[in-house]
Amino acid sequence: MSDNATNTVKVEDVGPCRKRISIDIPSETVDGQIEMAFASVAHEANIPGFRKGHAPRRLIEKRFGSYVKEETKSNLISHAYQEAVKDNELKVLSQPPSEAMEGIEVEAGQPVHFEVEVEVMPEFELPELKGIKVLKPDTSLPKDLVDDEVKKIAINEGSLDEREDSEKGDYLTGNAVMTDAEGTEHYNIEGAVVQIPEDGKEGMILGVIVPDFTKQIGTPKDGDKLTIKLTGPENHEVEALRGKALTIAYEVVKVYRIVPAVMTDLVAKYGFNDEEQLREMVTAQLTQRAETQQQAVMRQQITKHLADAIDFELPEGLTAQQAARNLERRRMDMMYRGVDPNEIEQHMAELRNSSAESATNELKQFFILNKAADTLEVTVEEPEVNAQIVRLATQQGKRPEQVRDELIKSGQAQTLLQQIREHKTVDVILADAEIEEISADDFNKKMEAMDSK
C-alpha cells in the first residue's frame, strides 16, 4: 500500500496480466473539488433575474447540484486513477470500463472509495535479439498459380444469376437472427450472405464456423426458413456466446450463382489489348504478393522464436477485449498482406474457433512484440501510417480518405498503428538475423516437420 499527498492507493494482483487498483479519496479532497465545481458553474451560469455570476449559492445548488456531483465524480476518479497508474509505474494496456464508475456517489464531507481492474503488461526478460536463424523461401511462382488467379478474377468480376433453387457452391442472402438457449438475441442481421459449402467442407454464418453446415441447410430455395444449431466458439470476442448452445433462424431471401466473366470482358474492363497483357498484370501482382508473403513468413519465424524462448503466465481464458484484439491484429495483418476479403473473414471465423492455447499464443506475441518495440525504441511516424492507408486503399479500390474514415469509425486506426510498429520491430530484428535462403518446397517441408513436433 502506498500513500500519496491526498489519496490512499492499493495495487494487488488478481490474475495473470491483471491488477486491481483500490483508491480512497479523502473527504477534504472531495469537498475541495465540489467547491471548485460550484464556483465554476456559478461564474458562468445565466439565471433569469440575476446578473451573470451573481446568482445565490442555494439556487445554483438546486439547479446544478446533480451536474456538479457527476462532474466532480468524473474529475476525481480520472485524476486519482491516472495518478495511481503513474506513481505505481503500471504499464496499463487499456482504460478501465466506464461501468467502474457506476454506483459511486459523491457527497460533501464524505470520502470516495472505488476499485478498478486493469490489464497490464506482464513482466519478463527478452532473449538475445541478434543472430536469430531465419529461413528465407524463394518467391518463384508455381506453374498454375497465374491460371488460378485469372479464374478468381473472372469470378470476382462475374455476374449474379438469380435462381429459385440452389446447389452446392451457390450463395444465399437472407435475414439471420442468433439467439441462445435462454432466448436472448445476440445478432439480427438483414442481408446476411451464406455460401453453401461443397460436400465435406465446413460452412460459415455470422462469422462462426459450423462443421455440419451442409447437412443442416441442404440446398434451400428462395423463401425457405432454416434453423441452424451450433456451439459458440471458445474464443469469440462476445463472451456471452462462448460455449453456449446457439440457434440461428435464417430466412432465405435470394439464391444466386456467380457466372464468371469471359476473357474478352476482363480484357476490356482492365483496359488491355489482349489476354497476354492481363496475364502480365496478374503475374506482377502475384510476384509482389509473394514477396510480401516471404517477408511475412520470415517475420513469423522471428515471432515464434521469441515466443518459444520466453515464458510468462497468461490468462487461462481470454477476456472479450483480449479476444477482440487478437482478431483485429490478425485481420489487419492479412489486410496488410493484401489477402482477399473473403479469405480474411473465413480466417476470422477459424480464429474464433481456435483452441485456447492458440488464442493465448496470439496474446503472448502481442505482449512480446510490444516490449521488443519499447526496448528497440521503435516509433511510427505519420507518413508511414499514410503510406499504409494508401496501400490499403489501392488494394480495396477505394480513396485513401475513405479508408482513413473507415478505420477511425471502426476503431481500427489504433490497430493499424500497432501493426506497423510490430512489423517495424520485427524488421529491425531481421536486419541482424542469420538468414538462409531456401526453395519454397524445402521451406514448406521444414515448416511441416516443425509443426508436427
d(CA 207, CA 194): 10
d(CA 63, CA 94): 36
- Looking at residue 231, its pLDDT comes to 94
pLDDT in tens, 181-231: 999 999 999 999 999 998 878 899 999 999 999 999 999 999 999 999 999
181-211: b (≥16 Cβ within 10 Å) or e = eeeeebbebeebbbbbbeeeeebbbbbbbbe
Task: Count Cβ atoms below 10 Å from residue 317 Cβ, excluding itself.
Answer: 13
Q: Beta partners for 42?
A: none
- Looking at residue 5, its pLDDT comes to 47
Q: Is 154 left (phi over 0), alpha (psi -120 to 50) or beta?
A: alpha
Q: Extract the residue ranges of the chain whose pLDDT is less than 70.
A: 1-5, 44-45, 49, 51, 53-54, 97-98, 100, 316-318, 320, 355-356, 450-453
Which CATH number is 133-148+273-452's, of 1.10.3470, 1.10.15, 1.10.3120, 1.10.8?
1.10.3120
| Sequential DSSP letters for 343-359 | HHHHHHHHHHTS-HHHH
d(CA 449, CA 453): 7
- Looking at residue 375, its pLDDT comes to 95
Could you tell me if 26 and 108 are in contact, meaning their C-beta atoms sit under 8 angstroms apart? no
396-415: b (≥16 Cβ within 10 Å) or e = eeeeeeebbebbeeeebbeb
- Looking at residue 2, its pLDDT comes to 40
Cβ within 8 Å of residue 110, ≥6 positions away: 27, 30
Topology, domain 2-119: Alpha-Beta Plaits (3.30.70)
Domain(s) labelled CATH 3.30.70.1050 in the chain stretch across 2-119
Q: Beta partners for 68?
A: none
148: which 3 cell numbers? 488460378
Q: Beta partners for 179?
A: 185, 247
Nearest by Cα to 225 from 177, 257, 258: 177
- Indicate the burial class of 99 (C-beta count within 10 angstroms; 0-12, 13-18, 19 or more): exposed
d(CA 148, CA 364): 36
Rg over alpha carbons for the chain, rounded to the nearest Å, is: 28
Q: Measured between alpha carbons, how far apart are the two ends of the chain, in Å?
A: 47
Nearest by Cα to 355 from 321, 316, 300, 299: 316
- Looking at residue 354, its pLDDT comes to 76
Q: Are strands 208-210 and 185-195 parallel, antiparallel or unpaired?
A: unpaired
306: which 3 cell numbers? 521469441
Domain(s) labelled CATH 3.10.50.30 in the chain stretch across 159-259
d(CA 161, CA 106): 64
Cβ within 8 Å of residue 356, ≥6 positions away: 234, 235, 316, 317, 318
CA 318 to chain centre: 13
Q: In 310-319, where does DSSP find H-type helix?
A: none
164: which 3 cell numbers? 429459385
159-259 CATH: 3.10.50.30
Could you tell me if 226 and 250 are in contact, meaning their C-beta atoms sit under 8 angstroms apart? yes
- Looking at residue 452, its pLDDT comes to 57
- Looking at residue 316, its pLDDT comes to 66
- Looking at residue 387, its pLDDT comes to 93
